[in-house]
C-alpha cells in the first residue's frame, strides 16, 4: 500500500461524507426547528434524482436537470408540509414516525407508477467528466471533486444563512423557543414551510448529484436515509456543524474500514477469508462508531442547546 493510495482513499471518504452531509443537513435543520423526525427525507432525495434524470433526458442538459431537481424536491417538500406534516408538529415522535413511514410507501409506489421499475439514465455533464492527476501519480475523478466543492459551498451557505440573514435569525429563534417566536409575531406556519422546503431542496440536490454516478431507481433513498440518521445522531441532532463533522467522520470511517480491514485481516488469514471477514466487520463499523459515540456522549458530539 502506497501513501498515494492512502491519500486517495481519504479523499474518497471525505467525498462520501460530504455527500452524506447534503442529506443530513436538511434532516437536522428540520428536526432542529420543528422537532420533526422525517423518515420520508429519503423520498425527497429520490424525487430530486428522478426530476434531474427526466428533465436532463428531455432537455439534453444536466444543468437544467439540476435546477429542476431543486425545484421539484422543494415543491414536493412544501406540498407534503402543507398537507401532512404541519398536523404533526404537536404530536409525539411516534405519530411522526408512522406518518412519514406511510409517506415513504406512497412516494415509492407513486414514483414506480409514473416512471416504471426500470432504472433511469443520468450521466454527469461533459464539463465535469474525466480525471485529474493527484500527487503521487494516481488520478482522481473531477466530478467527485466537484461534489466536495458543492458540499463545502452548501455548508458555508447554510452558515451564512443562519448567522447573517433574517430568515436565519428566525430559524435560530425557532430552535431555542418555539412558542416564543409565535408570540413575537413571526409567521410560524410560513417559516416552517420554508424550512421544510429548504431541507427538501438540499435532499433533492444530493439526489441529483449522486444520481449521476449511481443508479436512479425507486427505493434509492432508503440506505442513504439510515446513514443520514446515523450522521445527525453522531453530530448532535439539530446542529449543522455537528452534521458536517458527523458526516465526514462516518464517510471516512466507512471508506477506510472497507479499504483497510480486509488488508489487516490478511496478516493472519488467507486472502479470500480475509476479504469476507474484513468486509463483514467493515459493514458494521459505522454503527459501532455510533454506539461508541452515544455511549460516551448521549446527546451526540455537538448537542443543540434546546
Partner 1 sequence: MKKTLGALALGLTLGLSAPAMAENVKVGMITTLSGGGAGLGIDVRDGFMLALKNAGANNIEVVTEDDARKPEIAVQLADKMIQSDQVDILTGIIWSNLAMAVVPSVVAQDKFYLSPNAGPSPLAGSQCHQNYFNVAWQNDNLHEAMGAYATKEGFAKPFIMAPNYPAGTDALTGFKRFYTGDLAGEVYTQLGQTDYAAEIAQIRASGADSIFFFLPGGMGIAFMKQYAQSDVGLPVLGPAFSFSQDILGAVGDAALGVKNSSQWNKDIDNEANKMFVETFQAEYGRLPSLYASQGYDTANLIIAAAAKADVKDADAFRAALKEADFASVRGDFKFGNNNHPIQDIYVREVVKEGEVITNKIIATAFEDHQDAYAGECGM
Partner 2 sequence: MANRETIFNLAVALLLLALPIAANYAGEPFYVTLATRIAILSLAAVGLNLALGLGGLVSFGHAAFFGIGGYTAGILASHAFSGDPLIFGLPGTKQMIVIWLVAMIAGGIVAFLIGLISLRTAGVYFIMITLAFAQMIFYFAISWPAYGGEDGLPIFVRNQFPGVNTLRPLPYFLICYALLAIGLILFKLIADSRFGAALQATRQNEVRVASVGIPPYRIRLAAFVISGMFTAIAGALFADLNRFVSPSMLSWHLSGELIVLIILGGVGRLFGPVVGAAIYVLLEFWLGGITERWQFFLGLILLGVVLFARGGVVGLIAGRARHG
Residue 118 interacting partner from partner 1, partner 2, none (CB closer than 5 to 8 Å by kind):
partner 1
Interface residue with partner 2 among 31, 45, 62, 196 (CB under 8 A) is 31
Phi, psi of 176, rounded to the nearest 5 degrees: -85, -30
Least spacing, CB of residue 68 vs partner 1, in Å: 19
Per CB under 8 A, does 275 bind partner 1? yes
Q: Residue 268: phi, psi to the nearest 5? A: -135, 15
- CB-CB contact of 181 with 170 (8 Å): yes
Check binding of 108 to partner 2 (CB under 8 A): yes
Which cell numbers hold the place of 214? 449511481
Candidates 118-126, 166-174, 199-207, 295-303 — which segment interacts with partner 2 by CB under 8 A? Answer: 295-303
Residues with Cβ < 8 Å from 164, sequence gap 6 or more? none
Window contacting partner 1 (CB under 8 A); options: 28-36, 37-45, 69-77, 128-136:
128-136
Q: How far is the CB of 269 from partner 2 (least distance, A)?
A: 14
Q: How far is the CB of 7 from partner 1 (least distance, A)?
A: 10
Q: Which residue has cell 453522531?
A: 234
Q: Which of residues 70-99 bind partner 2 (CB under 8 A)?
A: 84, 87-88, 91, 93-95, 97-99
Query: CA Rg, the chain, in Å?
Result: 20
Those residues with Cβ within 8 angstroms of residue 182's Cβ, 6 or more apart along the chain or in another chain: 188
Cα end-to-end span (Å), the chain:
46
Shortest Å, Cβ 168 to partner 2: 23
Distances in Å between the Cα of 115 and the Cα atoms of 65, 193, 274 are 16, 28, 41
Q: What angle do CA 34, 38, 42 make, to 5 degrees?
A: 140
Q: Which of 123, 157, 177, 189 binds partner 1 (CB under 8 A)?
A: 123
Stretch that binds partner 1, among 23-31, 76-84, 216-224, 236-244 (CB under 8 A): 216-224
Binding mask of the shown chain, residues 214 to 233, with x at each position contacting partner 2 by CB under 8 A: ------------x--xx--x
> Which of partner 1, partner 2, none has residue 110 at its interface (CB below 5 to 8 Å by kind)?
partner 2
DSSP E strand boundaries for 37-142 = 131-133, 139-141
- Whose cell is 425507486? That residue is 218
Say if residues 32 and 237 touch (Cβ distance below 8 Å): yes
> Per CB under 8 A, which region of 63-71, 150-158, 270-278, 292-300 contacts partner 1?
270-278
The answer to whether the CB of 20 falls within 8 A of the CB of 41 is no
Task: Give me the residues that bind partner 2 (CB under 8 A), please.
Answer: 31, 37, 84, 87-88, 91, 93-95, 97-99, 101-106, 108-110, 112-113, 226, 229-230, 233, 237, 276, 279-280, 283-284, 287-288, 290-291, 294-295, 298-300
Amino acid at each position: 500500500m502506497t501513501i498515494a493510495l492512502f491519500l486517495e482513499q481519504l479523499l474518497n471518504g471525505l467525498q462520501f461524507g460530504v455527500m452524506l452531509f447534503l442529506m443530513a443537513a436538511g434532516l437536522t435543520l428540520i428536526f432542529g426547528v420543528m422537532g420533526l423526525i422525517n423518515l420520508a427525507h429519503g423520498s425527497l432525495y429520490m424525487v430530486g434524482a428522478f426530476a434531474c434524470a427526466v428533465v436532463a433526458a428531455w432537455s439534453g442538459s444536466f444543468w437544467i436537470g439540476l435546477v429542476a431537481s431543486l425545484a421539484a424536491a422543494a415543491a414536493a417538500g412544501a406540498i407534503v408540509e402543507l398537507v401532512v406534516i404541519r398536523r404533526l408538529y404537536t404530536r409525539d415522535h411516534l405519530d411522526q414516525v408512522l406518518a412519514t413511514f406511510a409517506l415513504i410507501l406512497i412516494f415509492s409506489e407513486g414514483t414506480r407508477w409514473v416512471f416504471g421499475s426500470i432504472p433511469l439514465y443520468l450521466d454527469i455533464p461533459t464539463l465535469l467528466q474525466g480525471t485529474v492527476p493527484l500527487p503521487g501519480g494516481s488520478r482522481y475523478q473531477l466530478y467527485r471533486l466537484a461534489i466536495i466543492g458543492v458540499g463545502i459551498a452548501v455548508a458555508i451557505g447554510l452558515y451564512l444563512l443562519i448567522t447573517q440573514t433574517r430568515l436565519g435569525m428566525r430559524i435560530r429563534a425557532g430552535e431555542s423557543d418555539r412558542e416564543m417566536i409565535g408570540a413575537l409575531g413571526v409567521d410560524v406556519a410560513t417559516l416552517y414551510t420554508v424550512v421544510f422546503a429548504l431541507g427538501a431542496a438540499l435532499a433533492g440536490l444530493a439526489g441529483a448529484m449522486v444520481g449521476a454516478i449511481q443508479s436512479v431507481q425507486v427505493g434509492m433513498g432508503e440506505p442513504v436515509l439510515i446513514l443520514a440518521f446515523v450522521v445527525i445522531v453522531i453530530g448532535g441532532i439539530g446542529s449543522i456543524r455537528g452534521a458536517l463533522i458527523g458526516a465526514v467522520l462516518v464517510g471516512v470511517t466507512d471508506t477506510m474500514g472497507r479499504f483497510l480491514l480486509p488488508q489487516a485481516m490478511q496478516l493472519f488469514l488467507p486472502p479470500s477469508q480475509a476479504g469476507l471477514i474484513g468486509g463483514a466487520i467493515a459493514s458494521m463499523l459505522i454503527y459501532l462508531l455510533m454506539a461508541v459515540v452515544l455511549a460516551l456522549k448521549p446527546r451526540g458530539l455537538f448537542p443543540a442547546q434546546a
